[in-house]
Amino acid sequence: MIKIAPSVLSADFSNLAEALRPVASADYLHVDIMDGLFVPNISLGFPVLAGIRKATSLPLDVHLMVDRPVRYVERFCDAGAAIVTVHVEADTPENTHTALDKIHAKGKRAGVVVKPKTPAEAVLPFLDKCDIVLVMTVEPGFGGQKFMADMMPKVSQIRRWIDERKPGCELEVDGGVAPGTCRTCIDAGANVLVAGSAVFGAEDIPGRIAALRGGV
């Protein structure tokens, strides 16, 4: 089953509760946290996440684009995350393991993220601890960028490793996922599709969610 995770970054923050109503048929709500250091942009923090938590009943999939996220993962769990993912590029392997352990100790789901230039192999040391692996299909930092189709071999490779070593782990793609690009992600083995502009910019949001889930 393909899951759709609308990215709240593309939602209208002037009335979030209203903006989130049409995405109720999605599977997760993807929340991008940017610290202005790990990526050249700043998005939102704990109070807004707690507000989002109240505005939707969707599980919150919190993508931390934050330097040394081990410092903050527990607070994101407490603020309402169901899933917390951390970038492998954001800290030492030891601290990334600690971050995953801390998320699990809070009873939440944990995973790692790889940027476009990071090879598939970078997820392997963490795969045993991952409930989800996220492959970026744009450079992290901004919504509305062009999908990088050349990430698909990486998605396929990680899908093979998941099937061999960690069945049940989800495989998510993020960036530029839209009607013209969702099918290739599904075919490469992704089962969770993040989509920001393609969902919140759609005329018929529930219809777009259903279409993306079907690969169209």
The site that binds ligand DX5 (CB under 6 A) totals a number of residues, namely 22
195 binds, among ligand DX5, Zn ion, none (CB under 5 to 8 A by kind): ligand DX5
User: Nearest residue by C-beta to Zn ion?
Assistant: 63
Q: Which two tokens stand for residue 88?
A: 């492998």
Q: Give the position of tokens 């601890």.
A: 129
Cβ neighbours of residue 72 closer than 8 Å, sequence gap 6 or more: 64, 66
Minimal CA–CA distance to 48: which of 70, 19, 68? 19
**Smallest distance, ligand DX5 to C-beta of residue 13, A:** 13
Instruction: Decide if 91 is catalytic.
Output: no
In the set 3, 19, 22, 32, which binds ligand DX5 (CB under 6 A)?
Answer: 32
Identify which range of 74-82, 96-104, 134-142, 182-190 contacts ligand DX5 by CB under 6 A: 134-142
Q: Which two tokens stand for residue 146?
A: 């062009």
Residue type, position 68, single letter: R
Q: Which is nearer to Zn ion, 66 or 77 (CB)?
A: 66
Cα-based distances in Å from 81 to 60, 90, 176:
5, 19, 23
Please check whether residue 142 is in contact with residue 136, taking contact to mean a CB–CB distance below 8 angstroms: no
Identify which range of 25-33, 52-60, 116-124, 125-133 contacts Zn ion by CB under 5 A: 25-33
Q: Does 32 bind Zn ion (CB under 5 A)?
A: yes
Q: Give the position of tokens 């299909």.
A: 137
**Residues contributing to the site for ligand DX5 (CB under 6 A):** 7, 9-10, 30, 32, 63, 138, 140-145, 174-177, 194-198
